[in-house]
Amino acid sequence: LLDTGMLFPRESSSREVKELNGLWSFRADKSPNRNQGFERAWYKSRLVETGPVIDMPVPASYNDVTQDPTLRDFTGWVWYEREVVVPSRWITDKGTRVVLRVGSAHYNSIVWLNGVKVTEHKGGHLPFEAEIGSLIREDPTMPCRITIAVNNTLNLDTLPPGSIQYLNDPTRYPDGFFVQNYYFDFFNYAGIHRPVLLYTTPKAYVDDITVVTDFLDNTGMVKYEVSVQGAAKATLKVTLMDKDGRCVASSDETSGVLKVADVNLWWPYLMHDNPAYLYSMEVRLMAADARATYEDVYTLPVGIRTVKVTNTQFLINNKPFYFHGVNKHEDSDIRGKGLDWPLIVKDFNLIKWLGANSFRTSHYPYAEEIMQMCDRHGIVVIDECPGVGIKDIRSFGNASLAHHLVVMEELVRRDKNHPSVVMWSVANEPAAEMPPAGYYFKTLIEHTKALDPTRPVTYITDSNYARDKGAPYVDVICVNSYFSWYHDPGHIEVIPIQLNTQFENWYGKYQKPIIQSEYGADAVPGLHSDPPMMFTEEYQNVVLESYHNVFDQKRKQYVIGELIWNFADFMTAQGITRVVGNKKGIFSRQRQPKSAAFILKERYWRLANAT
């Protein structure tokens, strides 16, 4: 199990944050073995001294920023570097911990400070960090040079998995030709995707906080546990404050239960007229050593709510919750998967315009900044790990499983305190009928439940209800289907019968509630035909409406949600079924509505008003 916390870096009276976003120097290692950077130790000097560099924005995917097709489609190590001015008080005050944090970099990363390796991390969607205080103090006159090498190569043990295929036929391919194959349907954008920053804490500090919430009648309960590092002896003051900053409960213990009278529960928006209520939990740590007294202050937003699953319902605060929402991607023009505030805010505005109450983080964890927005806006989240494209039997092996367990540990550690997160998804459309899938998902789901006993766990399936080997272990059945698209293309009339059969089969076998976790059809914006034909806006409309008719019959029984595929068009690898990306968005990639968006808007508001 992971032995440190990963609290979101926040400023406080004891903590400073310095963002390192902006332009970094950059070079892709295009040497034949992709390894020149290591052979020549590019991290030892300034990057510009070992070859040409270009400007690269951080955060952003590097793929779509230049005019160079070999960089867009690059597989291998790329090198980022910049120098930082560290405030002198951080250096002179030896009681200050200085931490370098990367919000995410895809996929495998190694980080050096002034040529000394400080950390490495496998996995493209979760944060990692390293303490660098002692290194920057070694020679305070030296500039602080940060080098980050990032490799986007996917193999059978990465998550998501992929494989490299060498094509050695000299009559057909140039020398050294290889391709990166992967079995998921979005472009393998790469680079430093989320903010890089330095932050400080005192030497003795709050390392982690875990809250679990409950309520009885009007009394809220916040069960908490604080872990402290760097202090043999410390005193703690935990204060829970309401929205107006008034203390509603407090304690001096490192763990305990805070009771909140006349509790304001955290409700999804549309479900309550005072939704998304957040308390603030201030954790104040006082530690003393022979020379000085340190104080660390960290404030965590806390939403008090419960989640439960029955045979037929999903309950939030004991009230049935029906998911009517979207699947998303972190994806947009030019920046690829790079965190972008205008885009994030636009997407939230569109979600609310639609009247959607939820989304799934298909197919990997999104930036924690997005999870915080969900907490504040009352948008419910199914939090998915990057277990997408597990199709090759070798990806069910021990090494893959071991890594998958670690990724779930990292995800739960980061997102456990978000009230908006109501369920974990450990995978999307794995080859769940293969023999090793039973053991694999049993282990993975049990591990996730041990990490977080409070949330249901699922994975998203597209396999046959009778042969799916992981379904016995999930709490909620999440099914994807594309009737009249990938099956019986053009035949809308099959949808009612096939969709009814799908629901009846799954419910009949498992008696668990079901979410239609994907459905949809591609529509090229502006393409029209009546009668509808595939790829037109009209066809997308009738597919959605046919699905909706069936949802409405089953909604009162055991179908507990519908998530459209997809919120917006997004980029994919090039292939004969994709027209510059996947066009199943109800918004274009530029976030303009197709006509389906208006159908969903009408439906979601109707559903919201019906509950």
The residues that are catalytic are 429
# of chain residues touching ligand GCB (CB under 6 A): 11
Buried residues in 367-397 as b, exposed as e (16+ CB within 10 A): bbebbebbbbebbbbbbbbbbbbbebeebbe
Nearer to ligand GCB by C-beta: 158 or 582?
A: 582
Q: How far apart are CA 393 and CA 156, in angstroms?
A: 9
Mention every residue, 6+ apart, whose C-beta is less than 8 A from residue 155: 161, 162, 163, 164
Nearest to 280 by CA among 249, 316, 317, 236: 249
Q: How many residues does the chain have?
A: 611
Q: How far is the CB of 537 from ligand GCB (least distance, A)?
A: 16
Q: Per CB under 6 A, does 14 bind ligand GCB? A: no
Nearest to 403 by CA among 390, 422, 415: 390
Token duo for residue 303: 């939403």
Q: Per CB under 6 A, does 463 bind ligand GCB? A: no
Q: Per CB under 6 A, does 480 bind ligand GCB? A: yes
Nearer to ligand GCB by C-beta: 363 or 469?
A: 363
State the binding string over 414-453 for ligand GCB (x if CB under 6 A, else -).
Answer: --------------xx------------------------
**Sequence letter at residue 69:** P
67-71 contacts, C-beta under 8 A, 24 or more apart: 70/28, 70/30, 71/28
Q: How far is the CB of 480 from ligand GCB (least distance, A)?
A: 4
Nearest to 240 by CA among 224, 217, 218, 228: 224
Q: Per CB under 6 A, does 81 bind ligand GCB? A: no
Cα distance between the two ends of the chain: 41
Q: How far is the CB of 130 from ligand GCB (least distance, A)?
A: 33
Q: How far is the CB of 575 from ligand GCB (least distance, A)?
A: 11
State the binding string over 162-191 for ligand GCB (x if CB under 6 A, else -).
Answer: ----------------------xx------
Nearer to ligand GCB by C-beta: 108 or 362?
A: 362
CB 212 within 8 Å of CB 306:
no
Neighbours of 291 (CB within 10 A): 7
Q: 């509808």: which residue's tokens?
A: 532
> Exposed (0-12), middle (13-18) or buried (19+): which is 66, by Cβ within 10 Å?
middle
CB 109 within 8 Å of CB 128:
yes
Nearer to ligand GCB by C-beta: 347 or 429?
A: 429
Nearer to ligand GCB by C-beta: 208 or 462?
A: 462
User: Which of positions 352-371 make contact with ligand GCB (CB under 6 A)?
Assistant: 363
Phi and psi at residue 568, in whole multiples of 5°? -140, 155
Cα 39 to the center of its chain, rounded Å: 34
Nearest to 92 by CA among 200, 215, 235: 200
Q: How far is the CB of 427 from ligand GCB (least distance, A)?
A: 10
Nearer to ligand GCB by C-beta: 358 or 480?
A: 480
Q: How far apart are CA 538 and CA 456, in angstroms?
A: 37
Contact pick of 81, 368, 452, 462 for ligand GCB (by CB under 6 A): 462
In what side-by-side order are the strands of the sheet with 307-309?
A: 307-309, 314-316, 319-320
Q: How far is the CB of 37 from ligand GCB (least distance, A)?
A: 33
Q: How far is the CB of 389 from ligand GCB (least distance, A)?
A: 9
User: Which of positions 229-258 make contact with ligand GCB (CB under 6 A)?
Assistant: none
Helix (H, G, I), strand (E, B) or coil at 405: helix
User: Which of positions 565-604 make contact with ligand GCB (CB under 6 A)?
Assistant: 565, 582, 584
Q: Which residue is nearest to ligand GCB (CB)?
A: 185
Helix (H, G, I), strand (E, B) or coil at 250: strand
Q: How far is the CB of 107 from ligand GCB (least distance, A)?
A: 18
Q: Per CB under 6 A, does 518 bind ligand GCB? A: yes
Q: How far is the CB of 518 from ligand GCB (least distance, A)?
A: 5
Nearest to 75 by CA among 87, 84, 62, 89: 62
Nearer to ligand GCB by C-beta: 266 or 459?
A: 459
Nearer to ligand GCB by C-beta: 375 or 518?
A: 518
Q: How far apart are CA 364 and CA 346, in angstroms?
A: 20
Nearer to ligand GCB by C-beta: 480 or 536?
A: 480
Q: How far apart are CA 434 and CA 440, in angstroms?
A: 10
Neighbours of 20 (CB within 10 A): 18
Phi and psi at residue 508, in whole multiples of 5°? -60, -40
User: Which of positions 309-328 make contact with ligand GCB (CB under 6 A)?
Assistant: none
Nearer to ligand GCB by C-beta: 135 or 544?
A: 544
Q: How far is the CB of 516 from ligand GCB (least distance, A)?
A: 12
Q: Rule CB under 6 A: which residues touch ligand GCB?
A: 184-185, 363, 428-429, 462, 480, 518, 565, 582, 584
